[in-house]
Amino acid sequence: MRDTAAETTPIYAWHAHVYYTPATKPTALKLREWVGARFPGALLGRWHDAPVGPHPQSMYQIAFPAELFPTLAPFLTLNRMGLTILLHPESGRPKDDHLSHAMWMGAVLPLDASMLPETEARH
């Protein structure tokens, strides 16, 4: 436990990982199209039809600047249509960002933390 609260200034961006199965891929596509049409500042990542990195199932990533959080996070919350979404900050501490600072919409999926570094250089 810490004695002082963490400041939010280190959060320079956010990632949303939208998980899907073959049966829910059309739903994931619809959500992706909606996000792309409404949030031009968001970067829509490639489709990964198999587990990649620490992620245990198929997914795509939505990367967006911190300034979009107040509108994009609620949009995902209200429009996820039953999909599981991992929403986490980008603060230069990938392991903490994915495990300790993450917010889950839907089921909490087990991530493979062994490949997540403690720190990384900010891009």
Domain boundaries in the chain?
A: 13-108
> Predicted confidence band at 123 (pLDDT cuts at 50, 70, 90)?
low
Fold of 13-108: Alpha-Beta Plaits (3.30.70)
Contact 111, 98 (CB under 8 A): yes
Which one, of 105, 71, 107, lies nearest residue 88 by Cα? 105
pLDDT tens digits along 48-59 = 999 999 999 999
- Examine the pLDDT at 4 and tell me if it is beyond 90: no
Which one, of 93, 97, 92, 96, lies nearest residue 16 by Cα? 97
How many other C-beta atoms lie within 10 A of the C-beta of residue 11? 17
Q: For the residues 101-105, what does the mean pLDDT come to?
A: 96
Q: What's this model's pTM, rounded to 2 decimal places?
A: 0.92
- Examine the pLDDT at 8 and tell me if it is beyond 90: no
Q: For the residues 17-22, what does the mean pLDDT come to?
A: 98
